[in-house]
Structure 1
Amino acid sequence: MNDTALEEIDAGLILAAEECPSDKFEGYHSFSPFDDVIIRKLSAHGPVLLRGGRGSGKSALLIESHRRMRATGSAFSIYMSLRYLPLLQSDGSEYIGHFCSLLSKAISAELLTQGQSVEFDFAEDEVALQISLAKLARTLDKRVVILFDDAAHIGREKPLEVFFDLFRTLSSNSTSCKASIYPGVTKFGVRFDVFNDSTVIDISRSDVSGGDRYFSDVLRTRYPTLANRDIFSDRLTPDTFASLLGRAVVGNMRAFILACNRFDGKTRVSIPDVNSCLLNMAEDYYWPLMEEVAPKLGVYEPLVGTATSIFEAIMEHLCRPLRQTSRIIAQDRVTIHRNIVSQFSKVFEILEYLGFMAKKEASRGMKSGGRGPVYAVNLCSLLEQVPTKRLTIEMIDEWIAAKPDLAEIHSSAGTFSAFVMPALAPENELGILGKDVEVLAKSRAYPYGLTEDKIARLKAAGINTVQELAEVPEARLLQIDMVGPATVKRMQDVVQQAIWM
């Protein structure tokens, strides 16, 4: 297949904003009034941390902030993805050296792109970087805004302490640092106080009640044919359809887009069609996430089995009343006692990051005493455990409106009594790096993975592992027969997806 055809196929498979070509970004992304508020905060003075799970839209918001600042000239902004393998494999002064070099190159490239006849003084350490940034702000007579994407990798938390130390050091009256992080980041370092040294913005959108039309707006913009009332059955409307899918995936934008893709081009959509979509999402989207994420969790890789078992136990707890009582609609939100969450904290972080659950409240009183956070669960996995596996309009109405009362899991309950946190090694490299490139084949885990032919060509060229593919120069890839620029881009994208969260 030639590169042109490959590029056309990839157009429907862009899963991450940072992988979207700049000339196509506007066509693939739209932003609500709620998003506009966040974008303004990302463009304003002061350090900001943008917190959200995988695929929640963090990168899109950072990139759009950069695009708007570049267009208006209100500040000199730099969007910088920290998807750089040496940063994952280093710490301390080595990490700082890589970081300063990357940022210096990114700033120089942005100056060139914007046609600024200003040279940025290359910096090798944080002190030199501070001085160079201050000089740049004076020369341009503008604030400098640095947007760090993919700053946090859940599998390697140790270098995060160095990053947040740099984040705090570089923030000044003339330089504003912003960064995207995942829920549950814990190792901020001793010098960085997350709430005093930054503004934290959560971008979870799993609540769709109260007249929120966010997902309806996305549907009309991205899938105008699905916003047509005529294609829906009598008891289903475009707004209900959009709200249900948004709630089903607990507000995760990437999962929402993938769910909508299953209906694109359909001339008729009914509740049984939505039923099938949710069940299929549970089977070929959510569970493959566990398979995909396991080898990139580093020291936390042994927790994947525990995370799977705990989530299954939560689902069983929510659906038990359907089998034992007269309840006909499963509870979709649960309060879990804080002692349990504390005991399995990293497991809950993994589940929240992957979009299996979304934390709705940090603490709520429980009927039996004590307090705990409230989690909303994804409706795809919930419906999979409902005895009938049948979606009804009554379920749709109640889940969208968040009507069912909260389930509770108490500290004295036996729900989690059989689970023990496995021992973790003090340090562990990401398992994905040493795996054969065959793991990058097109599959449920890697929807835009590599073909057997391309994997065979890589091996013939002596590129056998994921790490070797991640580190090989682009020029060497282009020397491989039947490998052109679009194929190289595809290889780089799938490697990024494999290594990064």
Structure 2
Amino acid sequence: MPEFYLRTESIKSDDILSLSVINNYDKDIITALKSSEPCLIEGSRGTGKSFLMRVAELEIERSDVSSISVYVSFNISSLVDTEDPLQFYHWMLAKSLKALINKLKKRGIVLSSYSVSLLSNDEHNEYDGVDEDLKSIVSAFENSYKGKINIPTHSLPDIEDVKEAIETICIEHKLKRIYFFFDEAAHVFRPDQQRQFFSLFKDLRSPYITCNAAIYPGVTYFGKSFEPTHDCIYKRLDRNIKDAGYIDYFKDIVLKQSDDVTKKAIKEQGGLFKVLALSSGGNPRMLLRTIQDLERFNTQSVNQLIKQFYRSQIWIEHTELGDKYKGHKQLIDWGRDFLENIAISAIEKYNTNRKDKNKEESTIYFWVHKDSPATVKEALRLLTYTGIIRKLDSGVRASRGELGTRYEVKYGCLIALQSSPNNESDDFFNTLSIKKFPEFGKNHSSYLTISNLKNTIEDINTFRESLSNMLQKPISVLKLLTSWQKSKLNHAKIFNLEQLYSCTETELIAKIYNVGPVRARLMKNAATAELLEYLSG
């Protein structure tokens, strides 16, 4: 099978729009991102949050010369570790201003000395001085994991000066608005960082600034000063497998990146494509990844891959989160055990009973009481982050009139349990009923092993230990690097993640025979993207 783009970061800006497949649901989100109101997009990994933000960014740039869009990724946030209690706020502000200045330069906009003085806390009156200071601050924060250092943030402006500077820039250059698109909006396993991010998100609000951000379900901490329902437009990026047009939509996504052989196979084997698309549970990355891993587009290969990926690989990747972040390990391990051995077993039993009674009803859903222990809810939230389950709705009444939350298990995780997923899929899918689900009350026996678990999520020392351990991992853990890339990196004596992160493009050129600047940059970007995704979970 061909190689697909599995991450938006791998796609050139010029190719984003040509590869985009936009339905009415996506259009609604893009419209919100282009509005004057701040917007948050919530979705699991691989659902397309970054891609839609890129589309919105490009549409703004191409259709409205009086607006400027600035895309800022915070994917390197896991490496920020200083004694500054507001380290993330300062780092994110410096990174955002640096990205803004870069975009203004590209547009040929020259700042007045007044704007420059505001952006540099009266340290400079020339453009280049501000740029160099911001670059130095960002770099120092991003290398702070190596040891405790004090970073001179005195040149960072007050947030009110930032807003005044942007207002001045807009008035002087006849601009209507500056749009910030924040991707990887603060590290999901650092609640302190997330709270600081949302303080910055809210602080930047002005008639000339709109902030948009992509966040993850279940694991986002907003802090006390930010209310999603009042402070922004809140959009969930969920793709329901029961929606009309679901299969055609995902087929278009795959065909946009497919070679002629794959296009022909999909056209001739529509049923096989359907079971792969349903198995992904609405996750474009998972669908592309599974098709890319197929040996052949036939029934045997599809059945084999679905069983391997949804019975094994998807669970292994979830469990690895606990190995990376020790403070979450017990929650992650319990969540897997509960879902795999209890919830899914209950769903299977329910489906078998209904089938034995000749009832045309099946389910991939389960319900958890609203008063279940907080640790149970946290474990389930982590499962929504990795996308194994999806939170459908809360406040749902169960059989005894009690209120709780309804979840959907990824379709592939259930169909993979059949001897022939492809043959069983149509009947199973056609009988799915959202009204049918096993129930887990507030005192279910499975909660006993986790209900009194000590919360270590906020423990900074635990996080530092986890980060140090991850940086010593071999580059072989980076699954999406090619064998050629890994061999070349090893040949250059780059064996672990820390060595990879520390190596510059120039050093790659010097160390790797027959690798020029272009290929070195591609290798460095691909390796860094994979490295940062590994570190962030």
Q: What is the TM-score normalised by the length of structure 2?
A: 0.79
Paired residue for 1:318? 347
1:350-499 equivalence runs, <5 A: 350-384=382-416, 386=417, 388-391=418-421, 393=423, 395-399=425-429, 402-403=432-433, 405-420=436-451, 422-425=453-456, 426-427=459-460, 428-429=462-463, 431-435=466-470, 437-441=472-476, 445-446=479-480, 448=482, 453-457=487-491, 460=493, 465-482=496-513, 484-499=520-535
| Counterpart in the other structure of 1:80 | 72
Point out the more displaced range, 72-81 or 25-34: 25-34
Letter in 2 for 1:207: I
Secondary structure of 2:182's aligned partner: strand
Is the alpha carbon distance of 1:200 and 1:301 closer, same or farther for their aligned partners in structure 2, counting shifts above 3 Å?
same
Q: How far does the alpha carbon of each residue in 1:307-352 deviate from its partner, in whole angstroms, 9 at most, with x for none? A: 2212212112211345667268752111222223744122111100
- Tell me if 1:108 matches 2:101: yes
Aligned to 2:285: 254
Give, in whole Å, the separation in 2 of the partners of 1:62 and 1:179.
8
Match of 1:161 among 164, 187, 195: 195
Q: Does 1:195 align with 2:225?
A: no
Offset of residue 115 of structure 1: 3.6
Alpha carbons of structure 1 residues 84 and 449: separation in structure 2 relative to 1, 3 Å = farther
Contact map agreement 1:442 1:448 (CA 8 A) in 2 = no
For residue 55 of structure 1, report the CA deviation from its aligned partner. Answer: 0.8
The percent identity for this pair of structures is 18
3-state SS of 1:204 partner: coil
Cα gap change, 1:39/1:452 in structure 2, threshold over 3 Å: closer, same or farther? closer
> Whole-Å Cα distance in 1 between the matches of residues 368 and 483 of structure 2?
38
Matches within 5 A, 1:47-126: 47-73=38-64, 75-85=67-77, 88-90=80-82, 92-118=85-111, 121=116, 122-123=119-120, 124-125=156-157, 126=159
1:66-111, Cα deviation, whole Å (9 max, x unpaired): 1111111252111111123477435643323222221121011112
1:131-187 per-residue CA deviation (whole Å, 9 max, x = no partner) reads 222222223322111110001322111111111111101011111110111112452
Task: Select between 80-89 and 177-186 the one with higher mean Cα deviation.
Answer: 80-89
Classify 1:351/1:30 alpha carbon distance in 2 versus 1 (closer, same or farther; 3 Å): same
Contact 1:340 1:411 in 2 (8 A): yes
Q: Give the partner amino acid of 2:509.
A: L
Is 1:139 aligned to 2:139, yes or no? no
**In 2, Cα distance between the equivalents of 1:58 and 1:288?**
24
Q: CA deviation at 1:204?
A: 0.7
Per-residue deviation at 1:473? 3.8
Alpha-carbon distance in 2 for matches of 1:83, 1:412: 39
Q: 2 CA distance for matches of 1:92 and 1:165?
A: 14
Cα distance in 1 for residues equivalent to 2:254 and 2:495: 42
Cα RMSD, aligned residues only: 3.2
For residue 176 of structure 1, give the secondary structure of its aligned residue in structure 2. Answer: strand
Confirm or deny that 1:25 pairs with 2:32: no
Match of 1:105, as an amino acid? K
Tell me, in whole angstroms, the C-alpha distance in 1 between the residues paired with 2:394 and 2:339.
19
Q: Assess, with a 3 A threshold, how the Cα gap between structure 1 residues 231 and 419 changes in structure 2: closer, same or farther.
A: same
Decide whether the 8 Å contact of 2:80 with 2:87 is kept in 1. Answer: no
Instruction: Tell me the secondary structure at the aligned position of residue 195 of structure 1.
Output: helix
**Distance change in 2, residues 1:264/1:145 (3 Å):** farther
Q: Please give the alpha-carbon distance, in whole angstroms, between the structure 2 residues aligned to 1:129 and 1:295.
A: 40
2:141 corresponds in structure 1 to none
**TM-score, normalization: structure 1?**
0.84
Contact between 1:206 and 1:358, CA under 8 Å: does it hold in 2? no
| Equivalent position amino acid for 2:292 in 1 | N
Name the counterpart of 1:331. Answer: 363
2:316 pairs, out of 269, 288, 294, with 288
**Matching residue's letter, 2:252:** D
Contact 2:393 2:405 in 1 (8 A): yes
Residue in 1 aligned with 2:331?
303
On the 8 A contact 1:76/1:143 being kept in 2, the answer is yes
Which letter does structure 2 place at the counterpart of 1:490? A
Question: Which one has the bigger helix percentage?
Answer: 2
Residues 398, 80 of structure 1: alpha-carbon distance in 2 compared, 3 angstrom cutoff: same
Give structure 2 stretches of 5+ with no counterpart.
121-155
1:4 corresponds in structure 2 to none
Distance 1:31 1:230 in 2: 21
How far does the alpha carbon of each residue in 1:24-64 deviate from its partner, in whole angstroms, 9 at most, with x for none? 43454332232122111101111111100111111001111
Q: CA separation of 1:39/1:382 partners in 2, compared to 1, >3 Å: closer, same or farther?
A: same
CA–CA separation in structure 1 for the residues paired with 2:4 and 2:467? 22
State the shift of 1:230 in Å: 5.7
Q: Look up the equivalent residue of 1:317 and give its one-letter code.
A: A
CA 1:298–1:148: 2 relative to 1, 3 Å: farther
The gaps in structure 1 that reach 5 residues or longer are: 1-8, 233-237
Partner amino acid, structure 1, of 2:315: W
- Secondary structure at the aligned position of 2:55 is classed as helix
Sort the Cα spacing of 1:401 and 1:470 in 2 relative to 1 into closer, same or farther, 3 A.
farther
Q: 1:449 to 1:217 in 2, by over 3 A?
A: same
Inter-CA distance 370–265: structure 2 relative to 1 (3 Å threshold) = same
User: Which residue type is aligned with residue 268 of structure 2?
Assistant: I
Contact 2:68 2:178 in 1 (8 A): yes
Change beyond 3 A, Cα 1:280–1:245: same
CA distance in 2, matches of 1:186, 1:493: 22
**Number of residue pairs matched?**
477
Structure-2 change in CA distance of 1:438 and 1:97 (3 Å): closer
Is contact 2:415-2:425 (8 Å) kept?
Answer: no
Which amino acid in structure 1 is aligned with residue 250 of structure 2?
F
What do the CA deviations read for 1:268-316 (whole angstroms, capped 9, x no partner)?
x44x554333212214541232254334436324422122212212112
Select between 166-175 and 318-327 the one with higher mean Cα deviation.
Answer: 318-327
State the distance in 2 between where 1:152 and 1:306 align. Answer: 25
Aligned-residue offset at 1:472: 4.2
Residue identity matched to 2:364: D
The separation in 2 between residues aligned to 1:402 and 1:202, in whole angstroms, is 23
Q: Could you tell me which residue of structure 1 aligns to residue 209 of structure 2?
A: 175
Q: Larger deviation: 368-377 or 57-66? A: 368-377
Partner AA of 1:78 in structure 2: V
